[in-house]
Chain A
Amino acid sequence: MQRLGLYIHIPFCKRKCNYCDFYSCTKLDNIKSYIDALLKQIVIDAPLYRDYEFDTIFIGGGTPSLLEPNDFERLTDAIKNNLNLTQGLEFSLEANPGTLTREKLLAYEKGGVNRLSMGLQSTFDNELKTLGRIHTYDEFVKNFNLARECGFDNISIDVMYSLPNQKTNDLLTTLERVSSLNPEHISSYCLKIEEKTPFGKIKDKLMLPNEDEEYEMYISMCDYLNKKGYLQYEISNFARAGYESKHNLKYWQSEEYIGIGPSAHSFFGGERYYYQDNLTDYISTILKGNSPEKIFEKELEIEHSVAHISKEDEYVMLKMRLSSGINTEEFKTRFGKEFLNSYPAVEKYIKSGHIVLLNNSYKFTPQGFFVSNYILTDILRFEN
C-alpha cells in the first residue's frame, strides 16, 4: 500500500506571538465545534484514502496542546477508526509550555502520540517576553521534565535565533542549556520578520542582528550542535541519529501527505492544494455536509510571472534543504536524466564552496544553506 502523512492543523492559541504569521485564532470557544468538523471531514474523506496507509501523523498549530483530553480522544478515535495506520507510526504533537498538564500529557500518550515537539524559542526570559511567548524558561523546563516522566522518549525542542538584541553568545548559551536537557531533536529557526505581525509593524525599531552577525550565529550553531551529537539533516533541523522527523522529511522528499484544517496544505495524487485560512467558514461548510474548497496551486495566478517551478525544480528545491542533498542515481531513476545535464549551474557553486559532491550526492555546505535561496534562484530552470 502507498504511504501517506497526515497533518492536522489546530488553529488556536492563548495569544499570538509577536513574530508569528501562521493561521490561528485566540477565541477558544470554537474548539469543540472545530473538533466536530474535523471528525466529520475524516469520515467523509476516508474513502479517498482507502488504498493508502498513514505512517506519520503530525498535529500542529496554533497550539495543539490546548486540546483537552476528551477532545483529543475523540480526534484520535476518529483517526484510528477511519484510516489505515502502519505499525511503528510516527505520531507527533506540538506542545507549548504554559498549556501542558500531567493529565493532558497522559491522554496524548494514551492516544498514541510518541513524539512531542515543544516550542521553547529561547532560554532567556527577556527574549521570551520580547517574542510575546506566554511562558518562562523555568516553566518550560518543568513541562519538559513532566513530559519525560509521562514517558515521552522522543522530544524535539524549537529554538529561534537572530532575535532582537541577540548576540552569538546568547544563542550559544540557549543551545547549551537546551542540549543539556538532552532532547532527541532540535529545530532552530531564523527569525523572519513577517509584514502582518506586530514585529512587522515595528520592524525598523527592532534591533535585529545584521547579516554578518546572523551568519556568524548560524555557522556557530551548526558547529555547536554537531559537536553535541545533533546532526544537521536539514537547513534548520538537527537530531540524534535515527530521530529525524519522519513527517517533516516527507515534505522535503516530495512524498505525499494530507493536511486538514484551515490553511492546511496537502500534496496528494500529484497535486498541491490547501484550504482557505478561515476557521468559521471551514466549520460551517463541513457541518452543512460539504467539503471545504480546495485551492490548487496550479490554478494560482502568478502575477505576470513567467518563472515557473516545475516538478523537477521542486524536487531539487526540496531535496537541497536536506543535508543528504540530491543523489544522482535517485534523480536519474525518478526523472530519467542526468542531474548535472539538467542543472549545470551547480558546478560553479562547487567551485565557490557552497555545494559539495560526496558519494554521488550534491549537497549544500552550511555556508551554502544560508544563501540557498540565492543559489536555487540561479540553478533552477524555471521553465514551464
Chain B
Amino acid sequence: MADKQKNIRNFSIIAHIDHGKSTLADRILEYSNAVAKREMEEQLLDNMDLERERGITIKARAVRIDYKHKDGQDYVLNLIDTPGHVDFNYEVSRSLNACEGALLVVDSTQGIEAQTLANAYLAVDCDLEIVPVINKIDLPSADVDRVRNEIEDIIGIVAEDCPAVSAKVGLNIDQVLDAIIEKIPAPKGDPSAPLKCLIFDSHYNSYLGVVVYVRVMDGTLKAGDTIRLMSTNARYDVVEVGHLNAFGLQKADSISAGEVGYITASIKTVSETRVGDTVTLDDNPTDEPLEGFKEALPMVFSGIYPADGARYNDLRDALEKLQLNDAALSFEPETSIALGFGFRCGFLGLLHMEIIQERLEREFNLDLITTAPSVIYKITKTNGETIMVDNPSNYPPADTIKTAYEPVVKSSIITPTEFVGGIMDLCQDRRGTFKDMKYLDASRVELHYIMPLNEIVYDFFDALKSRSKGYASLDYELAGYEASNLVKLDFLLNGEIVDALTFIVHTEKAYTRARKIAEKLKDNISRQLFEIPIQAAIGSKVIARETVKALRKDVLAKCYGGDITRKKKLLEKQKEGKKKMRRLGSVEVTPEAFMAVLKLDDSEK
C-alpha cells in the first residue's frame, strides 16, 4: 500500500490572473495524454462558459492524470485547479490543503503581481512545496532572468533551475512534469488508520445529488460504508466512490490515503457538505478531525431585482440553482419601493458579484436591476443594541446611533514606480491609511494600505486600473471593523425617496458623491412631460440638486403615403421600452439609469 502513495503527486497551480494558469493546466493534461489533443477544447478545466470567456477559473476542479514518467514508472498526478482572483482566496486555500505541492506560475513579461504574492503566501502557510514556473517565454518582452530574481528576492524560494515555459505554444512542458515528480513530495497517509478525508469542493448533479470532492488523508473508503461529516455529525451511506478524470467521474472500488477522489451518498444540497469539513467512518471514526476551514462569509451585498417584476419566481429559482454549487452565495428576499420584489444577495467580493449577475442573465435569461454594492455595517445604538446592516435603506436614523463601524481591509497594491504618486492620491482619496511601501526591484513597488471596504466596492478597482494604465494589481483581506463617521445619503426624484439609490458614505465624501450621482441621474433619466427635480439629502437636509427638464418634442413620423404600419411599429417599440421602466412615484426610470449610477469613474474629474 505504501508503494501506491509513493507514485502519487497532489498539486495545485497558483498564479496571478492572466498569468496563464489554465493554459498550463491544459498543456499538462495534453502532454501526459490524459486528453487527446483533438478532443481538447481550450482550457478544459474551466468548464463553465463564463470562465472560458473571462479566462478565469471560478470554481475549483480536480483531475486525475495517469502518467508514465521517463524513469519507467507509472504515476498518478492529481491536479487541483484553483481560482486566481482575490475574491476567491478562500477557495484557493481549501484546494491547497489537499495538496503537497503547488506550481507557482509567473508571467515572464509581467513578473510578480499582488495575487502571485498572496497565493504564494497561502501555499507557504499550508506547508506546500512551491515549484515556480516562468511562463510566456515565447513573447518578445519576456525577461526570464529578471523574473527568476524576483521570485528569489521577493518570495524567497529557489528559482535557479525552475522551468521556463510557454504554455501557449507548448514549450518545455516536459520540464514541468519532471519538476512535479521530482520536487513535490508524495503523500504520507496511513491507509489502515481511521478514515480522514478533507472536503475541498462539491457540486450538485441532478442525477447523483451532491458529488463531494475529497482528499483522503488517512484510511480507506468504499461504497456501502457509512460516513460521518464531523462538523455536523450527519451520517450518509456511501453510494459510490471514484476518481476524477478529464471527462468526469470514474467509478472505483475504493479510495485510500493519498488519493484524490469523489464520494456520492444521496446528499441533497452542497450546504450540507461544508468545504474544509472532515469525513470519517461512522463505525471507526478518527479521534482528531482535520483543522477546520473558516466558512466563507459574504463581504459585499447588493439588491438584485428582475427587470420584469413578473419574473421574481424565476429569479428565486435561478439563485437557488446557483447556490447548489456555490455555498458562498447568500440571498434573502427584500422589497424595494422603487424596484419591487427582489433579493439582497451576499458575495465574497466584487468579481463574485459580477459573475453571479452575469450567470443569472446568461444562463437563466433574466434581465436584472442591481443596486450599488454595499458592505455590512455594525451599529451600536444609543439603546445599547448592536445591529448589522447590509442594506443601506435599513440604516438607522442618525440620532439613534451611538457608534457606527465599517469593515476595513488590508490591501496590497503592486505597481510600476511611475504610477505610485497617482495611486497614493487615489488611496488617500479613498480614506486609506498608509502602512508601508516596499521596492520589489528598481521598477516596482508594493504598497500597503488599510482601507474601508466600502471604498473598495465603490469602483476602486476600475480607478486603480485607469491610473496605472492597467498595470497595478490589487489584493486585499478583511481586517476587522473600525469606528467611522458615516452618513446615509438619500436620493429623491420629484420629492420622493428612491430607496434603491440610498447609500452609506463617509461624512467628508458626502457632498462630492451626492453631486456626482445627481448629475449622473440627470443624464440618465429621460425627459418626461413635467420637470423632475433630483435631490440628494442627508436626513431632511438637501445637499445637491439637479433638474431633468420637461420633454417638449418627440419624433413626428409623417405617415406619408399612407404608411401607417411604420408609425404603429414605432409606437409599439416605444411601448416595449416603456414597459421595462420602473415607476418611481410619478417618474419613470429605465433600468439603465440605476446601472449608470453605479459606475462613477473618479479619474474622470
Contacts and interface: CB of A to CB of B under 8 A. Distances in A.
Given A380-B575, A382-B575, A372 B554 contact: yes
Contacts, number: 120
B506 to A, nearest CB: 39
B121 interface: no
A263 B565 CA distance: 12
B575 A236 contact: no
Interface stretch (A47-55, A139-147, A222-230, A302-310): A302-310
Contacts of A215: 552-553
Given A189-B558, A370-B556, 18 more contacts: A7-B561, A212-B549, A215-B553, A265-B564, A267-B562, A297-B568, A305-B573, A307-B573, A317-B568, A317-B571, A371-B552, A371-B553, A371-B554, A373-B571, A374-B551, A377-B571, A380-B571, A380-B575
Contact of B575 (A212, A321, A377): A377
Nearest to A211: B553
B558 A382 contact: no
B556 A236 contact: yes
29 contacts: A7-B562, A60-B560, A189-B556, A189-B558, A190-B556, A192-B557, A235-B556, A236-B556, A251-B559, A251-B562, A252-B559, A265-B563, A265-B565, A274-B563, A302-B569, A302-B572, A305-B576, A307-B575, A317-B571, A370-B556, A371-B551, A371-B552, A373-B555, A373-B556, A373-B557, A374-B574, A377-B574, A378-B578, A382-B572
Contacts of A371: 529, 551-554
A22 B561 contact: yes
A373 B572 CA distance: 10
Contact of A212 (B552, B554, B559, B561): B552
Contacts of B565: 265, 272, 274, 297, 300
Interface in A232-278: 235-236, 250-252, 257, 259, 263-267, 272, 274
Contact of A192 (B556, B567, B568): B556
Interface of A: 7, 9, 22, 60, 189-190, 192, 211-212, 214-215, 218, 235-236, 250-252, 257, 259, 263-267, 272, 274, 297, 300, 302, 304-309, 314, 317-318, 321, 352, 354, 367, 369-378, 380, 382
B579 interface: yes
Interface of B: 527-530, 549, 551-565, 567-576, 578-579
A190 B569 CA distance: 20
Nearest to A5: B562
Contacts of A251: 559, 562, 564
B555 A192 contact: yes
B590 to A, nearest CB: 14
A211 to B, nearest CB: 5
A341 to B, nearest CB: 21
A22 B554 CA distance: 21
A92 to B, nearest CB: 12
A306 B558 contact: no
Given A212-B552, A215-B552, A352-B530, A309 B559 contact: no
Contacts of B571: 307, 309, 317, 373, 376-377, 380
Nearest to B550: A371
Contact of A259 (B529, B562, B573): B562
Interface centre among B560, B565, B567 (most CB of A within 10 A): B565
Contacts of B558: 189, 192, 236
A306 B578 CA distance: 12
Contacts of A352: 529-530
Nearest to B567: A317
A3 to B, nearest CB: 15
A218 B573 CA distance: 25
B141 to A, nearest CB: 39
A372 B556 contact: yes
Contacts of B557: 192, 373
A233 to B, nearest CB: 14
Contacts of B551: 211, 371, 374
A352 B550 CA distance: 12
B309 to A, nearest CB: 15
B572 A305 contact: yes
Rank and list the top 3 A-B pairs by shortest CB-CB distance, nearest first.
Answer: A307-B575, A215-B552, A265-B562
Interface centre among B553, B574, B579 (most CB of A within 10 A): B553
Contacts of A308: 572
A267 B565 CA distance: 10
B579 A307 contact: yes
A252 B559 CA distance: 9
B339 to A, nearest CB: 21
Nearest to A368: B529
Contact of B572 (A9, A218, A236, A309): A309
B530 A374 contact: no
Given A257-B562, A309-B568, A370 B575 contact: no
A46 to B, nearest CB: 20
Contacts of B549: 212
Contact of B568 (A252, A257, A314): A314
A190 B553 CA distance: 10
Given A189-B556, A218-B553, A9 B561 contact: yes
A198 to B, nearest CB: 19
A314 B579 CA distance: 19
A250 B559 CA distance: 11
A300 B557 CA distance: 20
